[in-house]
Amino acid sequence: MWIADNWKDYEVIDTSDGEKLERWGKYLLVRPDPQVIWSTGHKNKGWSNCNAHYHRSSKGGGNWEFFDLPEEWSISYGKLRFNLKPFSFKHTGLFPEQAVNWDWMRDKIHSAGRPIKVLNLFAYTGGATLACAEAGAHVTHVDASKGMVAWGKENAALSQLPESSFRWLVDDCTKFVEREIRRGNHYDAIIMDPPSYGRGPKGEIWKIEDSIYPFIQLVTKILSDKPLFLLINSYTTGLQPAVLTYMLSTTVVKKFGGKVESAEIGLPVTDSGLVLPCGASGRWSI
C-alpha cells in the first residue's frame, strides 16, 4: 500500500462504526467512510467535540451538522495551499490520500531534466495540477464542472504559482481528448481520476467499468514520443490494483514499454496505528 504520511495539516485521528474523525488544519470533522466496517468505540474526545458532522441518510445522501466551522478555510501541504469548504455529499474539496501520488509525480518531473507538459483529466479542484506545476511542469487542467475549475484556479493563486504554468478548461474529458488527437497535440504525462458514474453535457453516460479501458486506449494517442508517466486513480471497488495493472500493461506498456505499478492508497490512523484504505492507483512510467 502507498501511504500518504507526509501531512502536517491533516490527519485521520480515529475510525469506528462507519465514520472517521479527521483534523483539517485546526478543525475536526466527522464524516462517513464505507471502508470503516469495524467498531472500536469513540474514546477520543474529538468525536464529541468536532466542528462539523456529516450524517449519512439511510435513503441516500445526507446532510452536514455544523457546530463551529467557517464557511471556508485553508490548509497546506508543503508549499501548496488549498481552500476547503464543506459541500454536497460529505466532501471538502480535497482528497488528502492523493498526496502520495503528488509526491511521486513531482519526483518524476524533477528527475526528467526537461520541460514537461502534463494533462490532468477529471481534475477536480487541482491537487495534482498544483503539485505538477510546483515541480516545474506546464499543466492543462480539464474538468466538466465550471465550479471545480474555478476552485482549482483559487488554489493555484493561493499557492502563489505562476499563471503561465496552467491552462484551465471546462470540458468533457473524452470530447477534449478526441479533439486533441485531431489537432495533433501531445503530452508527456497524463493523470486521470475518473468518476465511477457520470453524465456528459449532452447526456452521455460514463460508467467506469464500461468506459475506462477504451478511454485509456484513447489517451495513449496523445502521449508524446518521450512520455514520462500516466497515472490512474480509482475509487471503484471493482477496479482492484491488479485490474489497473492489466489495463495499463495491455495499452501503454504495449505501445511504449516501461513499467507499471499498482497498489491501494491509504491514510495512517493516529489512534490505532492502522492504515485506512482509500482506493487504488495505477502508475505507468518509463
Q: For 149-203, write each residue's pLDDT tens digit.
A: 999 999 999 999 999 999 999 999 999 999 999 999 999 999 999 987 777 666 7
Cell 475549475 found at: 149
The confidence score (pLDDT) of residue 146 equals 96
Domains 2-84 and 97-285 share a fold: no
Q: How confident is the model at residue 118 (pLDDT cuts 50, 70, 90)?
A: very high
- Amino acid code (one letter) for 24: W
The alpha carbon dihedral of 147, 149, 152, 158 has a sign of negative
Does pLDDT of 45 surpass 90?
A: yes
Selection from 265, 228, 7, 259 nearest residue 136 by Cα: 228
Q: Which fold has domain 97-285?
A: Rossmann fold (3.40.50)
pLDDT tens digit sequence for 22-36: 999 999 999 999 999
More confident residue, 130 or 235: 130
- The C-alpha angle with vertex 6 and arms to 5 and 8, in degrees rounded to 5, equals 110
Alpha-carbon gap, residue 112 to 4, rounded angstroms: 23
pTM: 0.95
Q: Is the pLDDT of residue 284 over 90?
A: yes
pLDDT at 102 over 80: yes
Q: What mean pLDDT value characterizes the chain?
A: 95
Query: What is residue 105's predicted lDDT score, i.e. its pLDDT?
Result: 98
For 208-269, the DSSP string reads HHHHHHHHHHHHGGGB-SS--EEEEEE--TTS-HHHHHHHHIIIIIHHH--EEEEEEEEEEB
As a whole number of angstroms, the distance between CA 180 and CA 194 comes to 18
Residue 255 — very low, low, confident or very high, per pLDDT cuts 50/70/90? Answer: very high
Residue 39: pLDDT over 80: yes
pLDDT of residue 163: 97
* Count of helix runs (H) and strand runs (E) in the chain: 7, 17
Q: What is the pLDDT of residue 101?
A: 98
Task: Provide the pLDDT for residue 211.
Answer: 86
Exposed / middle / buried, residue 190 (Cβ in 10 Å: 0-12, 13-18, 19+): buried
The number of angstroms, rounded, from the C-alpha of 142 to the middle of its chain's C-alpha atoms is 13
Say which residue, 239 or 105, is predicted with more confidence: 105
Residue 121 has pLDDT above 70, yes or no: yes
- Which of 38-42, 52-56, 144-148, 204-208 is predicted with the least confidence, judged by mean pLDDT? 204-208
- Nearest to 188, CA basis, from 97, 126, 271, 113: 113
CB 211 within 8 A of CB 219: no
Q: Do the Cβ atoms of 90 and 54 come closer than 8 Å?
A: yes
Look up the CATH number of domain 2-84: 2.60.40.1180
Mean predicted confidence (pLDDT) in 224-234:
97
97/88 Cα distance (integer angstroms): 20
Q: Is the pLDDT of residue 60 over 90?
A: no
**pLDDT value of position 94:** 97
- pLDDT category of residue 84 using cuts at 50, 70 and 90: very high
Alpha-carbon span 75 to 267, nearest angstrom: 17
Which DSSP helix (H) or strand (E) runs through 75?
strand 73-77
pLDDT at residue 200, rounded to an integer:
65
Chain centroid to Cα 126, Å, comes to: 8
Which backbone phi and psi does 150 adopt, to 5 degrees? Answer: -65, -40
The domain locations on the chain are 2-84, 97-285
| Residues in contact with 34: Cβ distance below 8 Å, sequence separation at least 6, in sequence order | 18
CB atoms under 10 Å from CB of 117, counted, come to 18
* pLDDT reported for residue 61: 85
Give, as one character, the DSSP assignment of residue 57: P
pLDDT for the residue numbered 206: 73
